[in-house]
Structures are given as C-alpha cells and as structure tokens.
C-alpha cells in the first residue's frame, strides 16, 4: 500500500510540475517534474516485473 501511494504521488506531482512548468515557462520546475515522472515510471515497471516473475 505504501508503495502505491508513493508511486501515485510521484507521478501525479511530476505531471503537475510538468504542466505548471510548461504553462508558466519555468524550465526548472519542468525538468524536476520530468524527473519525478521518470521515477514513478521506474517504480511501476519494477512492480510489474516482480508480479510477472511471481506468476511464472
């Protein structure tokens, strides 16, 4: 449960930062948002790989 909340917060916060950075022309916020989205993606990918290994 804790991992799901962390993933949702990272992806949601990252997307919000990306949109804010794009709309206000703030490059630093945009790049930080991209880093958070990439981190959330890596967490999702790690969980998917683990679930596929457990099923086989």
On whether the CB atoms of residues 13 and 6 are closer than 8 A, the answer is no
On whether the CB atoms of residues 23 and 53 are closer than 8 A, the answer is no
0.95 surpassed by pTM: no
Cα–Cα distance, 50 to 42 (Å, whole number): 12
Task: State the SS3 of the chain.
Answer: CHHHHHHHHHHHHHHHHHHHHHHCCCHHHHHHHHHHHHHHHHHHHHHHHHHHHHHC
What pLDDT does 3 receive? 86
56 pLDDT exceeds 80? no
* Interval 6-55: pLDDT, tens: 999 999 999 999 999 999 999 999 999 999 999 999 999 999 998 888 88
């Amino acid at each position: 449960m804790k991992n799901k909340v962390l993933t949702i917060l990272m992806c949601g916060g990252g997307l919000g930062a990306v949109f804010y950075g794009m709309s206000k022309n703030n490059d630093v916020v945009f790049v930080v948002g991209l880093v958070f989205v990439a981190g959330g993606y890596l967490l999702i990918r790690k969980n998917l790989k683990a679930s596929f290994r457990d099923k086989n």
